[in-house]
Amino acid sequence: MRTYARVLIVLIVVAVIAVITSRIVLPWLLNGSDVSSLSTQALFAANLPDPSGKTQAVKQWQGKVTVVNFWATWCPPCREEMPELSQLQDKYRGQGVVVLGIAADELDKVKEFSKSMPVSYPLLVGDFEGMNLAQSLGNHNGVLPYTVILGTDGHVVKNYFGRINLQQLEQTLQPLLAGAR
């Protein structure tokens, strides 16, 4: 019985370490990685459907400070951060900021999801192409959510692996907006 208890304790400790590593340590290590070599060419060349099925050219948002958030309907942290992304969009829309949500999901699922959880920013459906775009913007591990902030010149300024919050985003946006005045 003691062997069983020891094995159980070891498994619990390993599980806790795995959770801490995946939720805290890994995003902390990856966030703020060098983004200077990332190209936004594929992103701005993309044409993706919105939840109604109408194709949208991503280049229509070029020239704005853009917060690109890669997400999925099945991803709890993705859903948790959406209200804060909506707040960000509402607060900074008049200053040339756009939040753009690109779902790595199927059109029908995003359409249904957007009915139950409306947001104030544009949603596009990328499915597999969405993950390819995320990878071209530095998400080589397929982490969701994944957020990239682009300056008005289209260059990647900052990337975030995992759930983000309004304060993190504002810390990155403030200097960009101050420089644009």
Q: What is the pLDDT of residues 92-101, one digit of tens each?
A: 999 999 999 9
pTM listed for this prediction = 0.81
Partner residues linked to 59 by β-bridges: none
Return the closest-CA partner of residue 125 out of 137, 138, 112.
112
pLDDT tens by residue, 137-170: 999 999 999 999 999 999 999 999 999 999 999 9
Partner residues linked to 55 by β-bridges: 49
Spatial separation of the C-alpha atoms in residues 13 and 1, rounded to whole Å? 19
More confident residue, 52 or 11: 52
Regarding the domain delimited by 35-180, which CATH topology (the fold level of the hierarchy) does it fall under? Glutaredoxin (3.40.30)
- Among 3-12, 28-37, 64-73, 130-139, name the one with the lowest average pLDDT: 28-37
Spatial separation of the C-alpha atoms in residues 124 and 48, rounded to whole Å? 6
pLDDT of residue 28: 47
Local confidence band at 2 (pLDDT 50, 70, 90 cut-offs): confident
Domains of the chain by residue range: 1-30, 35-180
More confident residue, 14 or 139: 139
